[in-house]
């Protein structure tokens, strides 16, 4: 994930997220999508206690909620706030809880301070690219990676679709592609990606992983 801090990109990669789930709003200020943080919470098996309402004023729509969570022996807590000056959502309780949970996830994941949740501020959302802009940027990078690795991609697809896939050859061809280009190529076929759903599954299967390990590499 080009330019993204390694601790953040590694964690996102572990849960199957990608660079469209994180963006830089200001220099060295990274924001992660709420849905990606939920996947991280599931990956780390984070358990949340019942939230505690610290302040609630429905007339002024100001809410503050405390949330605690744990991942194994590690625990963390945080407070989420929602008020008209920092929230355009019409459901302040839900937003306050979401912000608190996201902060706890960031703490337990070890990236609090390096990254923020998209729910932290409306400014973060306004700075985000539109879905169409992100999709176009990702597709341009994908097509460039495809051009750079046409032969390798061709052989990977050919070997995967044989009656008996040649896993060693597939691994060898995959190894020839740079990590940056591998990520760029990992676009769903519904969004224009070169690999079909079945081919993407093959590049995650045990046989392929074993072939990569023989070469001293991982397919992650």
Domain assignment present for residue 203? The answer is: yes
Q: Are residues 105 and 63 in the same domain?
A: yes
Q: What percent of the chain has pLDDT over 70?
A: 90
Q: Is the pLDDT of residue 45 over 80?
A: yes
Please report the pLDDT score of residue 174 as a whole number: 94
Domain assignment present for residue 55? The answer is: yes
Closest CA to 97 of 136, 69, 60, 124: 69
- pLDDT tens digits for range 83-119: 887 888 788 999 999 999 999 999 999 999 889 998 8
- Angstrom distance (rounded) from CA 132 to CA 138: 10
Q: Are residues 57 and 158 in the same domain?
A: no
Domain assignment present for residue 220? The answer is: no
- pLDDT tens digits for range 118-156: 888 665 664 455 555 566 667 778 888 888 899 999 999
- pLDDT tens digits for range 160-172: 999 999 999 999 9
Alpha-carbon radius of gyration of the chain: 21
Mean pLDDT of 190-209: 90
Q: Are residues 135 and 118 in the same domain?
A: no
Specify the number of domains making up the chain.
2
Q: Are residues 200 and 123 in the same domain?
A: no
Among 100, 127, 154, which residue terminates a domain?
A: 127
Structural domain for 168, as ranges? 131-214
């Amino acid at each position: 994930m080009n330019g993204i801090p390694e601790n953040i990109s590694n964690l996102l990669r572990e849960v199957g997220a990608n660079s469209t789930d994180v963006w830089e709003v200001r220099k060295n200020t990274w924001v992660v999508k709420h849905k990606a943080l939920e996947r991280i919470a599931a990956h780390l098996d984070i358990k949340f206690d019942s939230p505690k309402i610290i302040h609630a004023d429905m007339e002024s729509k100001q809410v503050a909620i405390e949330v605690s969570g744990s991942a194994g022996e590690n625990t963390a807590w945080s407070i989420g706030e929602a008020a008209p000056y920092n929230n355009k959502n019409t459901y302040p309780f839900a937003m306050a809880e979401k912000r608190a949970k996201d902060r706890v996830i960031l703490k337990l994941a070890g990236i609090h301070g390096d990254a923020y949740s998209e729910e932290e501020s409306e400014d973060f959302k306004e700075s985000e690219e539109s879905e169409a802009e992100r999709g176009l940027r990702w597709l341009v990078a994908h097509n460039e990676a495809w051009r750079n690795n046409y032969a390798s991609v061709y052989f990977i697809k050919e070997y995967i679709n044989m009656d008996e896939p040649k896993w060693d050859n597939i691994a060898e061809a995959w190894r020839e592609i740079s990590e940056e280009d591998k990520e760029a190529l990992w676009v769903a076929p519904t969004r224009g990606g070169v690999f079909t759903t079945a081919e993407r599954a093959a590049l995650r299967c045990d046989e392929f992983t074993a072939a990569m390990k023989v070469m001293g590499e991982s397919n992650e």
